[in-house]
């Protein structure tokens, strides 16, 4: 576990994409499966915090999800304003979702922070029966300088690897320092993720 | 033909314009009258506090009367009212008391004070007897036959009549007591709310305070119900059941009858009443229908709907909330309306009225199964989707209003106008529109105008920072959620911003499975989902008390706005890339 009074660097990452592409399920796969010792089990209803050791330094990453809010078009610029990295998700089984992903990338390049690091994530790979090689997408990624990952949230293939690899590619200078202690004060705003089994240990203070 | 058409067109346009002007003038005159009346009412309400102080003294006097009046003088057969006599006696009694007190203390006190006391007591008497007066002055319907009246009066024995009088007397005393109890409980609620605001940073105290507030509100509701029952009994004794014109009744209690001739029903059931009788004995039970069954039932377990007397009394008691006076300049061109000329507070009010109408229609079932995002289930959630589309239109409308101005000074003025507008929205707890306006000010086409935002005054810049902190996305919108809870604790009306709650619902729906291993519904999920949904819908009962203005309501039915790409091009026109400040002026 992380020690209490250690300063960490917090970095903001946004997950964007068309609706019902699997953004929230990707994040849930990350949060439920134990892939790192430092992983925290709480979700603040809208985003997840997890810390990765990069060169023996704790590096906290805040992943934002716009789940349920895709229709609020005028709200999305607020999400990607202070972000350092962005993951654009699209569905392999639907071609239309790739076009929306292209629009997202163009908008991010025009209007967002020019130092933003963008990744393309091809989700739901288990639905492809014949293993097609994603040639078009890879060409598009090479032209625009994007990272590309192949995942499936259902089977859990390549999900954790994507997040770890993406966090290593982020610039280490940017972000803001925080104390780890002040996070998640109140129970009301948090929703705990457990599979039915809940720890009912009461802590007594004073 | 052309000339004729031209002339007719001219005529119609002129007449229309004149008509419009006339209607607006008339409307304004009416509104001014209404405001004068409202101001008069405000003056009257300030006097009510004095009545409350004097009410306790009066009650003591009434208790004394109660002790004396066991040997009440019998009423005449002609029907001179018992209460009129009682009133006269009361007044004489109080006056006598005052005189005696005055005589004793005349040496010590000045005369002016005594006169004041007298006046105040008279006023309080008048205010107190409003209830009784309304009941006595109630006119019976014309169909009410006079013969039956006489028969009934003859049928009643003298003992019964005396008992009725005593009942009326006691019920009035009980009504006073209930009013005092209500005032006390309101005070308790306020104190607890203050406690909650003081200790809002600590978890435990906040929870305790919220529990107490819930208990207090429940008990106050019970007292109100008791008061209604008392009033019903009063009406019952005075006029009998037939004086009330109604056909339906609501069940207060749940009753299970074993006999076949009787009906059994649950709470809040609607009963279709066929026959009503007078008296409380078992012979005189009512006859009604529920779920196709007809039978007798006891009218004690039932409350009648549409009883005119009770509704009138309660409406006048509950109209304590004032509606604010609309701010509109008297000379305005409604045809070519420029919104920026109207006061931003008034615009905020009109938008909140319109938005609350949309928010009020949201239904519990629309939030289930993420139906606002799935194409198959669009028909399930029409109201949510309409609210979202209105949100987007509002933010684009703000952008167009700001970018519509060609000069730099005008644009800066428009930005300041919208910041003040947002502050008023915060005051009314209309978070949905607030989020739209702030997101418009933070959107891409406006954020790149650095020269216009440089011309804003420092105060409005700080206000924008404060609003940005309130709607900040850190810690899962902690500040926003706290502000919403505070509005609920203080009893204010509010409109929540749906988007945040929708993300909560999607995560809740995805994380836990709907079915357990046994095949049953998982109760945990249902409870958490219902909590999350009720946190959105619990503000639907609290209406805003603003006066709607028709022209503005029409204007805000559809926001006239450009689309996002056109807005970005327009902003590039207004301030091209790399332009210096000198060239813009």
Q: What mean pLDDT comes out for the span B507-529?
A: 73
3-state secondary structure of B291: coil
pLDDT band at A42 (very low <50, low <70, confident <90, very high): very low
**Contacts B392 to A, Cβ<8 Å:** 71-74
Q: What mean pLDDT comes out for the span B31-35?
A: 59
Tell me if B299 sits within 8 A of B286, measured CB to CB. Answer: yes
Summarised one tens digit per residue, pLDDT across range A12-36 is 888 888 888 888 788 877 776 654 4
Q: B485: nearest CA in chain A?
A: A188
Q: What mean pLDDT comes out for the span A117-139?
A: 83
CB-based contact (8 Å) between B508 and chain A?
A: yes
Pick among A10, A30, A44, A73 to test the B interface (most B CBs inside 10 A): A73
Q: In the predicted model, what is the mean pLDDT of chain A?
A: 74
CA dist., res. B287 & res. B241, Å (int): 13
Q: Locate A42 and state its tokens.
A: 């709480």
**Contacts A111 to B, Cβ<8 Å:** 444
User: In this model, does residue A39 exceed pLDDT 50?
Assistant: no
Angle at B107 between CA B101 and CA B112, to 5 degrees: 75
Q: B529: nearest CA in chain A?
A: A191
Predicted local confidence at residue B356, as pLDDT: 93
CA–centroid distance for B458 within its chain = 38
Predicted local confidence at residue B220, as pLDDT: 64
Summarised one tens digit per residue, pLDDT across range B82-114 is 445 445 555 544 444 444 444 444 444 445 544
Predicted local confidence at residue B517, as pLDDT: 76
Of A90-94, B63-67, B150-154, B562-566, the range with the lowest mean pLDDT is B150-154
**Beta-carbon separation of B374 and A20 below 8 A:** yes
Provide CB contacts within 8 A for A42, sequence distance 6+. A184, A190, A191, A192, A193
Tell me if B494 sits within 8 A of B539, measured CB to CB. Answer: yes
Among B373, B440, B522, beta carbon nearest to A70: B373
The distance of B478 to chain A (nearest Cα, Å) reads 7
Q: A74: nearest CA in chain B?
A: B392
Summarised one tens digit per residue, pLDDT across range B417-455 is 999 999 999 999 999 999 999 999 999 899 889 889 988
Predicted local confidence at residue B7, as pLDDT: 39
Beta strand B286-290 with B302-304: parallel, antiparallel or unpaired?
A: unpaired
Q: Which helix (H) or strand (E) holds B275?
A: strand B270-275
Predicted local confidence at residue B219, as pLDDT: 62
Predicted local confidence at residue B201, as pLDDT: 57
Residues of A numbered 108-137 whose beta carbons fall under 8 angstroms of chain B's beta carbons: which are they?
A: 111
Predicted local confidence at residue B559, as pLDDT: 87
- Most confident listed range (B126-130, B299-303, B385-389): B385-389
Among B443, B478, B506, beta carbon nearest to A67: B506
**Beta-carbon separation of A74 and B440 below 8 A:** yes
**Contacts A70 to B, Cβ<8 Å:** 373
User: In this model, does residue B366 exceed pLDDT 90?
Assistant: no
**Beta-carbon separation of B499 and A68 below 8 A:** yes
Beta strand A42-43 with A191-192: parallel, antiparallel or unpaired?
A: antiparallel
User: In this model, does residue B141 exceed pLDDT 50?
Assistant: no
Predicted local confidence at residue B541, as pLDDT: 78
Summarised one tens digit per residue, pLDDT across range B472-482 is 877 778 889 88
Predicted local confidence at residue A89, as pLDDT: 93
Summarised one tens digit per residue, pLDDT across range B321-362 is 567 788 887 777 777 888 888 899 999 999 999 999 999 888
User: In this model, does residue A151 exceed pLDDT 80?
Assistant: yes
The distance of A19 to chain B (nearest Cα, Å) reads 7
What b/e sequence results for B10-22 when a residue is b if at least 16 CB atoms lie within 10 Å of its CB, and e otherwise?
Answer: eeeeeeeeeeeee
Among B391, B502, B512, beta carbon nearest to A68: B502
User: In this model, does residue B155 exceed pLDDT 70?
Assistant: no
Task: Please report the ipTM that was assigned to this predicted complex.
Answer: 0.74
- Most confident listed range (A172-176, B281-285, B544-548): B544-548
CA dist., res. B251 & res. A108, Å (int): 62
**DSSP code per residue over B128-165:** HTHHHHHHHHPPPPTTS-HHHHHHHHHHS-HHHHHHHH
**Contacts A69 to B, Cβ<8 Å:** 499, 502-503
Of residues B278 and A138, the one with the higher pLDDT is A138
**Beta-carbon separation of A74 and B395 below 8 A:** yes
Q: B392: nearest CA in chain A?
A: A74
CB-based contact (8 Å) between B270 and chain A?
A: no
CB-based contact (8 Å) between A78 and chain B?
A: yes
Q: Locate B435 and state its tokens.
A: 């989020």
Scan for tokens 């101001």, then name that residue: B39
**Beta-carbon separation of A79 and B473 below 8 A:** yes
Summarised one tens digit per residue, pLDDT across range B256-312 is 888 878 888 887 677 777 677 766 667 777 877 777 777 888 877 877 665 544 454
pLDDT band at B363 (very low <50, low <70, confident <90, very high): confident
CB-based contact (8 Å) between B559 and chain A?
A: no
CA–centroid distance for B284 within its chain = 39
User: In this model, does residue B375 exceed pLDDT 50?
Assistant: yes
The distance of B395 to chain A (nearest Cα, Å) reads 7
Q: In the predicted model, what is the mean pLDDT of chain B?
A: 71
Q: A198: nearest CA in chain B?
A: B524
Q: A71: nearest CA in chain B?
A: B388
Predicted local confidence at residue B56, as pLDDT: 61
Of A147-161, B56-70, B536-550, the range with the lowest mean pLDDT is B56-70
Bridge partners of residue B255, in order along the sequence: B265
**DSSP code per residue over A74-99:** GGHHHHTSS-SEEEEEEESS-HHHHH
CB-based contact (8 Å) between A197 and chain B?
A: no
Task: Provide the percentage of residues in chain B whose pLDDT is more than 70.
Answer: 53
CA–centroid distance for B385 within its chain = 26
The distance of B573 to chain A (nearest Cα, Å) reads 16
CB-based contact (8 Å) between B71 and chain A?
A: no
CB-based contact (8 Å) between B371 and chain A?
A: no
CA dist., res. B269 & res. B265, Å (int): 7
Of residues B412 and B285, the one with the higher pLDDT is B412
**Beta-carbon separation of A46 and B478 below 8 A:** no
User: In this model, does residue A107 exceed pLDDT 80?
Assistant: yes
The distance of A54 to chain B (nearest Cα, Å) reads 24
User: In this model, does residue B200 exceed pLDDT 80?
Assistant: no
**Contacts A108 to B, Cβ<8 Å:** none
Among A45, A74, A78, beta carbon nearest to B504: A45
Among B389, B507, B564, beta carbon nearest to A45: B507
Of B167-176, B184-193, B314-323, B549-558, the range with the lowest mean pLDDT is B314-323
CA dist., res. A63 & res. A44, Å (int): 11
Predicted local confidence at residue B67, as pLDDT: 52
Nearest to B299 by CA among B269, B279, B329, B321: B279
Nearest to B351 by CA among B439, B418, B410: B418
CA dist., res. B25 & res. B36, Å (int): 17
User: In this model, does residue B506 exceed pLDDT 70?
Assistant: yes
Of residues A59 and A99, the one with the higher pLDDT is A99
**Beta-carbon separation of B439 and A24 below 8 A:** no
CB-based contact (8 Å) between B366 and chain A?
A: no
In what order do the strands lie in the sheet containing B248-251?
A: B293-297, B286-290, B270-275, B248-251, B302-304
Q: How many CB pairs under 8 A join A and B?
A: 100
Of residues B557 and B82, the one with the higher pLDDT is B557
Q: For the purposes of burial, counting CB atoms within 10 Å of the CB of B132, is it exposed (0-12), middle (13-18) or buried (19 or more)?
A: middle
pLDDT band at B137 (very low <50, low <70, confident <90, very high): very low
């Amino acid at each position: 576990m992380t020690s209490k009074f250690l300063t960490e660097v917090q970095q903001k990452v946004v997950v964007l994409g068309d609706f019902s592409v699997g953004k929230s399920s990707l994040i849930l796969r990350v949060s439920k499966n134990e892939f790192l010792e430092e992983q925290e089990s709480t979700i603040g209803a809208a985003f997840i915090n997890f810390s990765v050791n990069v060169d023996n330094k704790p590096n906290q990453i805040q992943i934002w999800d716009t789940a349920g809010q895709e229709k609020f078009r005028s709200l999305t610029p607020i999400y990607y304003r202070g972000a350092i990295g962005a993951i654009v998700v699209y569905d392999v089984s639907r071609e239309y979702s790739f076009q929306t992903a292209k629009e997202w990338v163009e908008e991010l390049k025009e209007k967002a922070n020019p130092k933003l690091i963008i990744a393309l994530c091809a989700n739901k790979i288990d639905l492809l029966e014949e293993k097609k090689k994603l040639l078009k997408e890879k060409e598009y990624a090479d032209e625009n300088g994007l990272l590309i990952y192949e995942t499936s949230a259902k089977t859990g293939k390549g999900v954790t690897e994507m997040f770890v690899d993406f966090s290593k590619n982020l610039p280490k200078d940017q972000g803001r320092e925080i104390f780890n202690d002040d996070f998640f004060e109140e129970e009301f705003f948090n929703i705990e993720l457990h599979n039915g089994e809940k720890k009912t240990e009461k802590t007594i203070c004073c | 033909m052309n000339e004729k058409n031209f002339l007719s067109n001219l005529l119609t346009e002129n007449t229309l314009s004149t008509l419009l002007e006339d209607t607006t003038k008339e409307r304004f005159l009416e509104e001014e009258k209404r405001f004068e009346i409202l101001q008069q009412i405000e003056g009257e309400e300030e006097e009510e506090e004095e009545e409350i102080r004097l009410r306790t003294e009066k009650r003591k006097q009434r208790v004394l009367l109660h002790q004396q009046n066991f040997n009440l003088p019998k009423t005449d057969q002609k029907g001179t009212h018992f209460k009129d006599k009682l009133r006269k006696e009361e007044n004489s009694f109080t006056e006598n008391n005052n005189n005696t007190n005055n005589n004793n203390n005349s040496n010590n006190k000045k005369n002016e004070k005594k006169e004041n006391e007298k006046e105040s007591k008279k006023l309080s008497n008048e205010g107190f007897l409003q209830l009784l007066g309304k009941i006595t002055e109630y006119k019976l319907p014309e169909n009410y036959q006079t013969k039956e009246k006489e028969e009934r009066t003859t049928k009643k024995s003298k003992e019964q009549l005396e008992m009725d009088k005593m009942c009326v007397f006691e019920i009035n005393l009980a009504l006073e007591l209930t009013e005092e109890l209500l005032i006390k409980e309101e005070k308790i609620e306020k104190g607890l709310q203050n406690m909650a605001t003081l200790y809002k940073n600590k978890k435990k105290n906040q929870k305790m305070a919220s529990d107490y507030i819930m208990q207090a509100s429940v008990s106050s509701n019970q007292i109100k119900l008791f008061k209604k029952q008392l009033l019903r009994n009063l009406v019952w004794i005075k006029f009998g059941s037939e004086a009330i014109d109604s056909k339906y009744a609501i069940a207060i209690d749940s009753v299970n009858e074993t006999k076949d001739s009787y009906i059994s029903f649950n709470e809040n059931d609607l009963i279709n009443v066929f026959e009503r009788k007078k008296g409380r004995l078992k012979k005189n039970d009512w006859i009604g229908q529920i779920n196709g069954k007809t039978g007798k039932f006891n009218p004690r377990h039932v409350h009648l709907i549409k009883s005119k007397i009770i509704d009138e009394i309660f409406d006048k008691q509950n109209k304590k909330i004032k509606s604010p006076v609309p701010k509109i300049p008297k000379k305005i061109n409604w045809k070519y309306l420029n919104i920026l000329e109207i006061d931003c507070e008034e615009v905020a009010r009109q938008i909140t009225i319109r938005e609350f109408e949309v928010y009020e229609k949201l239904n519990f079932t629309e939030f289930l199964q993420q139906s606002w995002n799935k194409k198959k289930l669009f028909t399930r959630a029409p109201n949510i989707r309409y609210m979202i589309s209105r949100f987007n239109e509002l933010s684009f409308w703000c952008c167009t209003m700001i970018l519509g101005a060609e000069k730099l000074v005008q644009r800066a003025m428009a930005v300041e106008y919208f910041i003040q507008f947002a502050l008023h929205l915060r005051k009314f707890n209309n978070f949905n529109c607030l989020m739209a306006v702030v997101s418009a000010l933070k959107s891409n086409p406006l954020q790149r105008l650095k020269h216009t935002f440089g011309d804003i005054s420092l105060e409005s810049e700080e206000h924008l920072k404060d609003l940005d902190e309130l709607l900040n996305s850190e810690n899962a919108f902690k500040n926003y959620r706290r502000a919403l809870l505070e509005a609920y604790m203080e009893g204010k009306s509010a409109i929540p911003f749906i988007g945040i709650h929708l993300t909560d619902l999607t995560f809740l729906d995805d994380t836990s499975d709907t079915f357990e291993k046994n095949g049953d519904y998982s109760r945990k999920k249902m409870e958490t989902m219902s909590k999350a949904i009720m946190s959105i819908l619990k503000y639907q009962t609290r209406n805003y008390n603003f006066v709607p203005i028709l022209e503005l309501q029409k204007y805000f039915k559809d926001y006239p706005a450009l689309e996002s790409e056109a807005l970005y091009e327009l902003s590039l026109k207004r301030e091209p890339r790399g332009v210096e400040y000198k060239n813009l002026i």
